[in-house]
Structures are given as C-alpha cells and as structure tokens.
Chain A
Amino acid sequence: MIQIISGIQNASAALDAEQTRLDVISQNIANANTTHGVDGKPYQRQLVVFESALQQAVNSDGSLQMPPLQIAKIEKDTSPPIQIYDPGNPDADGNGLVSMPNVNINEEMADLVSASRAYEANLAVVKNSHSMAMETLAIGKG
C-alpha cells in the first residue's frame, strides 16, 4: 500500500494505547474509595503493561520492521489494601478497620500527566506528518 502520510500507522496505534492508559487511570481515581466492589473486596488498582520491543529490527532495505505498539495486558496491582480505622463504615471488620483500595492519588496524577504528555506527542506527530504530506502534494504548484 502506498503510504502518503508517513509514520501515521504507529502514531495512531500509540494514540489508542495511551487512550486506554488514560481510561485505566481515571478508573483508578474514580474507585479510590471503593471499599466494596462486585466481588465484595476493595478495588484493586489497575496497570497498563506495554508490549516489550522484542521484534524491533531494521530490514536490509532500510525500512522498519516494527509491529505497531500494543498493550500486552491490563494488570492488577496486588499490593495489600490500605487499612484505616473507621468503625462506622459498613465494611469495617471486628477491630473497626476498613480495607481501602491500594490507589495512591499522587501516583495516579503523575501517571496521568505522563500519559497525556505521550498522547499529545503522538498527536503532534500526526499533525506534523499531515502538514508534510500536504507540502509534498503541493510540489510543482508554485
């Protein structure tokens, strides 16, 4: 297939992946206080794991051999829940301790910034590639 706009396939795959990451982060923040999930347990923080670059190679003709960026899996953070003392809570145990989700808001905010920065960068690539393609199409038009 002729590629008129160069480098756009991978950028769009990356936009997709970063979007998923943003979704997962917002889910974590939204559930930062969910002590009683569907399974009756406190919410566990989720993490997006990116596929490792195993097949990265440059072909002998100089083109790139690179599968588009993919998300390997969405993993649960298995670190223990945070215990707080709140005897009035319906989810409190015999000692008045409530298991809160292992979500750290500061960590999530830092992740959010880096995910949205990566998203913006890929968007910049798409815009840039597009304007380059328009310039190329205007060759000879004065």
Chain B
Amino acid sequence: MIEALFNQPNYLAANKALDAVVLRQQAIANNIANLETPGYKRVDLAPSFEAALEQATASGDPQQLAALKPSLAVDTSAVPGSLDGNTVHLENELMQMNQNSVAHSFETQLVSGMLQRMQMAITGKDA
C-alpha cells in the first residue's frame, strides 16, 4: 500500500535517471584513471538506456520504469588519440564529468523536491 506513494512515473523516472548519472560517474572516473593505460577503450553509459527511459516515460507504466536498469558499454565511436590505441581524451572526459555533475545536482534536487511535496501533502506542514 505504501509502495503506491513511490510508484508515480515521474518519481521513478527521476530515480532511474539518478542511477544512470551515478553509473556514468563511475565510467568517467575509470576512463580518467586509465588515461595512460595502453589499449584502454573508454566506457560510457550504454546508448540504449536513454531510449529505453524515454520510451518508458512516454508509456507512463510504473512496472516498465521500475524494470529499467542503466548499464555501461565500451564506447565504440571513440577514436584513439595516441598510437597505443587508448581512446580516452582528457579534455572530453573532464567536460563530461562536469556535465554529469550538473545533471546529478539537477536529479537530486528533483527527487528531493518530490519527496518534500509528498511530505507536505501528508503533514500539511512545510518541511
């Protein structure tokens, strides 16, 4: 019964997006750590996730949204920047990391706001 509170499509979608941002941070951290590793191929969020999230949001089906799971994949579009076959470009990774951190702020504020509104509705008081 209480699950119904947290089963709204918007809340679920925001949660999944937050999951994806955290996973992406891991991928970027890994890429930067392996800046000098010969033969390393950069990893990133699997491109299929964004499409799946969009589709699930459009359908508004809580089950479909809850089943979503972001995953990582080797970025096949990245080209090697050096002769050792490493596909990590530092500037690009730092930019992606900053973008990701803005996305994270946005998602946490969104989720926070939703929870606060819910609390306000329950208690009738401003949180």
Interface residues in chain A, defined as those with a beta carbon under 8 Å from any beta carbon in chain B: 6-8, 10-11, 13-14, 50-54, 56, 58, 61-64, 66, 68-69, 117-118, 121-122, 124-125, 128-129, 131-132, 135-136, 138-142
Which residue of the partner chain B has the closest CB to A70?
Answer: B37
CA A63 to CA B74, docked complex, whole Å: 11
Which residue of the partner chain A has the closest CB to B18?
Answer: A136
Interface residues in chain B, defined as those with a beta carbon under 8 Å from any beta carbon in chain A: 18, 22-23, 25-30, 32-41, 43, 46, 69-74, 90, 93-94, 97-98, 101, 104-105, 108, 111-112, 115-116, 127
Other than A51-B37, A131-B101, give 10 A-B pairs with Cβ distance below 8 A.
A6-B25, A10-B30, A11-B33, A52-B39, A53-B38, A56-B43, A61-B69, A64-B27, A128-B97, A132-B101
* Dominant secondary structure at the B interface: helix
CA A62 to CA B45, docked complex, whole Å: 9
- Contact A14/B34 with A6-B29, A142-B116 known, Cβ cut-off 8 Å: yes
- Contact A135/B33 with A6-B25, A50-B38, A121-B93 known, Cβ cut-off 8 Å: no
Cβ–Cβ < 8 Å partners of B90 in chain A: 117-118, 121
CA A8 to CA B29, docked complex, whole Å: 7
